[in-house]
């Protein structure tokens, strides 16, 4: 999504939320725009990850 327009990123985020995803974790190639949209508008779905982050499953 890096390099995509704000409206395109917003559309993708809304589609992901419509799929009933509880968390969205954009990583490297997602771009800053999608992180900004999630942080500012959908913070309850935003999970911030970086290189070396891990998801621990039960």
pLDDT tens digits along 21-52? 999 999 888 999 999 999 999 999 999 998 88
Would you state the pLDDT for residue 1? 86
What pLDDT is recorded for position 9?
Answer: 95
β-strand partners of 46: 24
Q: What is the pLDDT of residue 28?
A: 82
Confidence of residue 8 (pLDDT cuts 50, 70, 90): very high
d(CA 31, CA 33): 6
- What is the residue extent of each domain of the chain? 6-45
Give CA–CA dist 23/26, Å, rounded: 10
Identify the residue whose tokens are 């395109």.
8
């Amino acid at each position: 999504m890096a390099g995509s327009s704000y409206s395109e990123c917003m559309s993708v985020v809304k589609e992901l939320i419509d799929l009933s995803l509880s968390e969205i974790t954009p990583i490297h190639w997602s771009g800053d725009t999608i992180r900004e949209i999630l942080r500012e508008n959908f913070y309850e779905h935003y999970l911030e990850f970086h290189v070396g982050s891990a998801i621990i499953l039960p």
